[in-house]
Chain A
Amino acid sequence: MGSYVLRRLLGAIPLLLGIATLIFFVLHLAPGDPTAFLFGPGIPPEVIEQTRRNYGLDQPLALQYLHWIAAMARGDFGWSLTQGRTVSAILREALPNTIVLSLSTLILVFVLGVLTGVYQAVRQYTIGDNILSVAALFFYSMPSFWLAMMLVLIFALKAYQWGWPFALPATGITSVDYEFLSTAARIGDRLKYLVLPVTTLTLALVAGVSRYARGQMLEVVRQDFIRTARAKGLPESRVILKHALRNSLIPVITLLGLYLPFLFSGAVFVEYIFAWPGMGRVIVDAILQRDYPVIMATSFIFSTLTVAGSLIADILYAWADPRIRYD
């Protein structure tokens, strides 16, 4: 298995290079001058020229590309055009927030998805199965931004209006008086702000995982070795939880790796609506303001995280399936 991991790692490098190249060329093929946002009509052209030179925008495209690739490799993402600080500083601030959101969602999605999927497979065709199937399809068909808004409507705005005891905050990451809270209260506060965004993202994604887990479980349960397990006299719970589950979990792991791009995409909407200061917001704002360095860096980070995620998923799969591990 070691050689497999090594091969995948090596294969990821050209992939990342390709992504960086793609980003660069998409941006620079776009019409419009990046500096147009920075300046009003009255600025003298020499200042504009100087600024462009500062940012290296006057050099030939190929040279800019090489400079950029070298800088990326160093981890130097340059300066933001609109925020007046290094891109790295922006990312350092935003990345943890996105990670918190994404990781919580991923764990919840995995646990809930597998639980419901297994339940549905074992109780196929019962009322519970049908209800869950319909619900899953319903949430699967829902745009995440709309779900976010509806949740905000009900649990934040209307709850406040109707005086429910547990009105949740509509936006933000912490309360205004966060600084003055005790540690325990701080954790509670953070959790309170985390509930709606994570719920939105989870509901949007859990349906897919649940459907897949259900399908896999149904297939596994039809296999011959399940019949063998029953013929040995094992109780049904052991047959399902020990023999069947272990086999059906393996492909589910790969699915989670594949879901990472959707996780980040979905996070974009959720962060936008809930004013969650993560990478999704950063990139949307940067795109709308044509802040090139920030756009390039954030896109690259997103893609790297995706590649890393699917790499981890593949490695996990290879580790979990003895047929690959011992080959």
Chain B
Amino acid sequence: MTDARAASSASRLAGSIIPGAGHLAAGRAARGLTFLLPWLACASVAVGARHRIAAMPATGSLDDRIAVVTLGFLLVAIWVGAAFDLRSPPRVPGPGDSQWLIAARHFNRNRLAVAGSWLILALYAAMLLAPLLSPWDPIAQANISQTTFLPPSGQHLFGTDRLGRDIFSRVLYGSRISLTIGFVATAISVTLGTLLGAMAGYAGGRVDSVIMRFTDLVLSFPRLVLLILIVALFDRSLLVLILVLGLTQWPTTTRIVRGDVLSLREREFVQAAIALGYRTPRILFRHVIPNVLAPVIVSATLGIGNTIVLEAGLSFLGLGPPPPAPTWGGIVNDGGSSLINAWWVATFPGLTIVLVVLAFNLVGDGLRDALDPRLR
């Protein structure tokens, strides 16, 4: 008894200094590391970029301020989270667990999926912290004759391009474009798709026919052609890109949701809700849609990966955000003409895309397995 209590106060002390250390002292190593390592990473970023941070109040742009605030927030949040987690006892599986908790536990056993989710978190963090992380300015061109087409080295991790710009920094800043577009466009498409699918599945009849015909229409069109068409004809801005990507992705979600809603509609709890006199929007939003969320989440995760690839493709064709914006696809395109003597320009951004999309796909697969109703 006393041992346990003594250990716990020692670990609490350790935990109040460095998050995660307390867990390690108390023997909960895995949990401890999940707090400790990210915190150490953030701390080393803070230390490494201390000069830049110090200079910020004077010369910082909005970007820089966001980066600093994010860093500070992360440091504090991890610290507080670790402290709270240390106090609460480890959760044991029990009969009262919600389906989401069960799914989360199942997900955690899939190591690849967990690795993927960490990678995604790290990417979004890197996206926000880019001003502090990137060693060079992504768009500044120094003495071109000296810096052009330098191969990868300690100074330039990914080498430089034709104009002497550091590719690593460009890729880092490029993540802002791709990750934002991916997230927002997918959010739009998933929301739209779920609403349409739920309406079609629930209402049936003519509403269903009309919606599904329209869905088939959009699906029959090769998506890339439609995207190229609209972006080339209208405008190359970020907004158009996001809108058009989002407004062409919803059919897949609609089909999935419609199928699920159709089968749910016959289930007793929906019939009970109808018998109780609930109005349709309430039934839809509070009873039906929460039950179809699982495949929607999977579809959304995989959709983000898909969107990132498409955005890269559009940028590759010159239809993405205009230069000097460092889009991943754009950099690959730049590297195309100098492929034989400067292979690094095209290779690294592409590799980054593969890694990012791989992470999303791993997570999506992991979610699909975890949320599989047959495993409950």
Contact = CB atoms under 8 A, between A and B. Distances in A.
B354 A142 contact: yes
Contact of A19 (B217, B232, B336): B217
Interface in B314-354: 316-318, 329, 332, 335-336, 339-340, 343, 346-347, 350, 353-354
Contacts of B220: 15, 19, 261, 303, 306-307, 310
For A15, A22, A265, A299, the residue with the greatest tally of chain B CB atoms inside 10 Å of its CB is A265
Contacts of B230: 26
Contacts of A161: 340
B39 to A, nearest CB: 30
Contact of B221 (A19, A144, A284): A19
Given A261-B219, A287-B229, A31 B234 contact: yes
A152 interface: yes
Nearest to B252: A258
A319 B46 CA distance: 65
Given A146-B332, A295-B229, A137 B361 contact: yes
Contact of B361 (A22, A141, A290): A141
Interface residues of A, number: 47
Contacts of B329: 143, 145
A138 B225 contact: no
Contacts of B318: 288
A266 B335 CA distance: 20
A122 to B, nearest CB: 20
Nearest to B336: A149
Interface in B281-331: 305, 309, 312-313, 316-318, 329
A180 to B, nearest CB: 28
B-side interface mostly: helix
Contacts of B332: 145-146, 149
Contacts of A142: 350, 353-354, 357
B233 A18 contact: no
B339 A138 contact: no
B222 A302 contact: yes
Interface string B188-225: 00000000000000000000000001001101111111
Contacts of A65: none
Interface string A269-282: 10011000000000
Nearest to B308: A143
Interface in A293-327: 295, 299, 302-303, 306-307, 310
A273 B336 CA distance: 9
Contacts of A307: 220
A235 interface: no
For A142, A143, A284, A295, the residue with the greatest tally of chain B CB atoms inside 10 Å of its CB is A143
Q: How large is the interface on B (under 10, 10 to 19, 20 to 34, 35 or more residues)?
A: 35 or more
Nearest to A310: B220
B339 A153 contact: yes
A149 B230 CA distance: 26
A48 interface: no
A206 B14 CA distance: 52
Given A264-B222, A265-B222, A284-B317, A149 B229 contact: no
Contacts of B354: 138, 141-143, 146
A284 B219 CA distance: 20
Contact of B343 (A27, A138, A140, A153): A153
B114 interface: no
Interface in A131-187: 137-138, 140-146, 149-150, 152-153, 157-158, 161
A283 B224 CA distance: 11
A216 to B, nearest CB: 15
Nearest to A287: B232
B218 to A, nearest CB: 8
A32 B233 CA distance: 8
B234 A268 contact: no
Interface string B214-254: 00110111111110111011100000000000000000000
B358 interface: yes
B371 to A, nearest CB: 15
Contacts of B229: 26-27, 287, 295, 299
Contact of B353 (A140, A146, A265, A266): A146
Contacts of A62: none
Contacts of A269: 224, 313, 316
Nearest to A295: B229
A141 B350 contact: no
The 4 closest A-B pairs by CB, nearest first: A146-B350, A265-B224, A30-B233, A141-B357
27 contacts: A19-B217, A19-B221, A27-B233, A137-B365, A141-B353, A141-B360, A142-B354, A142-B357, A145-B316, A146-B350, A146-B354, A150-B350, A152-B339, A153-B339, A153-B347, A261-B220, A261-B221, A261-B222, A264-B225, A266-B224, A268-B224, A287-B228, A287-B229, A299-B221, A299-B225, A302-B225, A303-B222
Interface of A: 14-15, 18-19, 22, 26-27, 30-32, 137-138, 140-146, 149-150, 152-153, 157-158, 161, 261-262, 264-266, 268-269, 272-273, 283-284, 287-288, 290, 295, 299, 302-303, 306-307, 310
Interface of B: 213, 216-217, 219-226, 228-230, 232-234, 305, 309, 312-313, 316-318, 329, 332, 335-336, 339-340, 343, 346-347, 350, 353-354, 357-358, 360-362, 365
